[in-house]
Structure formats: structure tokens, C-alpha cells
Structure 1
Amino acid sequence: MKSILIGFGLLFSTFIVMASPVNVNHASAEEISKSLTGIGLTKAQAIVAYRDAHGAFKSAQDLTQVKGIGEKTVEKNLADILLEDQH
């Protein structure tokens, strides 16, 4: 029974993705996609393209201007979206 519980624990732990803070004004698409929940590489590339075309994001909510990024995604990642480097 104990080994079954351990097996389930390992199985479910592979589905948990831990987000980590990322500066969306400097990070690469790969870094953004690995750091933010619900942001795959395609959306991360759209974030970088938008940033390159329009300049730095001034608020996390500015990310909703990127096609495919909604308010719920921003809210879910709010604690992990950095706009400046943290020292």
C-alpha cells in the first residue's frame, strides 16, 4: 500500500509546475515560457515580439495587450511577473 501511495505521489508531482519570477522586459521567450504558468513558447514569443515592437511593459496588466494573454493568465502569474530587475 505504501508503494502505491508513493507511486501516485510521483505521478502527480510531475504535473505540478512551479512558476518562478521572471522579468518580462528582459527575459527570452524560453525563460518566460518556463517561468509563467499557462504561457507556452508560442505565447512567450508573442510577448517578446510585442515588447520589441512597443517597448517595455509598464505594468503586468499591459501583458493583456498581447494576443492570447488574458486577464486570468496575468492574475494567475501576478506574483511572478517582474518589470524591473530585483536586487
Structure 2
Amino acid sequence: MLVFSHFVYASPVNVNTSSGEEVAQALNGIGSVKAQRIVEYCQKVQCKQPEDLLSVKGIGVKTLEKIREDLRFED
């Protein structure tokens, strides 16, 4: 019997330079609306660390912990 498993490993996404669509694709559990909020917020304040995203509507501590490893802030 053969068992196949499909896992997708995304590269961390730079929330300061990526589009809303790129952020939504890279961050598990983040849809297009929250992704666009993240992008717009980081364009205004140049996010430097994961905790900066706690100021984005819809991003709380639990969500941040889920996406933390997939976030990048510098090139």
C-alpha cells in the first residue's frame, strides 16, 4: 500500500514589500482581507518585528503565534 502526503512549505514572506495576495498565500489562516490590512499597516509604519502586527485589526496573540515563523521584515 502506498500512502502519499502533500505538504506545502512556503518561504517566509516580507510583509513590508509583498502584496496582499502574496501575504495571503504565504500565511496559513490569513485570508485576503487580513492580508491586505497587514500590507496597508506595514506600508504606513514599516513593521520591524512580529509584535507590530498586533496593531492590525483581526490579528491577535494566537494568530500571531501561528504565523510568526512565516514572517520576514527585512530583505
Give the corresponding residue for 1:49: 40
1-structure distance, mates of 2:10, 2:31: 12
Which sections of structure 1, spanning at least 5 residues, go unmatched? none
1-structure distance, mates of 2:10, 2:24: 10
Cα RMSD (Å) of the superposition?
1.8
Give the corresponding residue for 1:27: 18
Which sections of structure 2, spanning at least 5 residues, go unmatched? none
Secondary structure at 1:68 match in 2: coil
TM-score (norm 2): 0.82
1-structure distance, mates of 2:42, 2:10: 21
2-structure distance, mates of 1:69, 1:17: 23
Give the corresponding residue for 1:61: 51
| Cα distance, 1:69–1:21 mapped onto 2, change above 3 Å | same
Residues 13-55 of structure 1 deviation map (CA, whole Å, 9 limit, x = unaligned): 4xx6544310011110000000011111110111112123x32
Identity %: 49
Q: Structure 1 stretches (4+) deviating beyond 2 angstroms?
A: 16-20
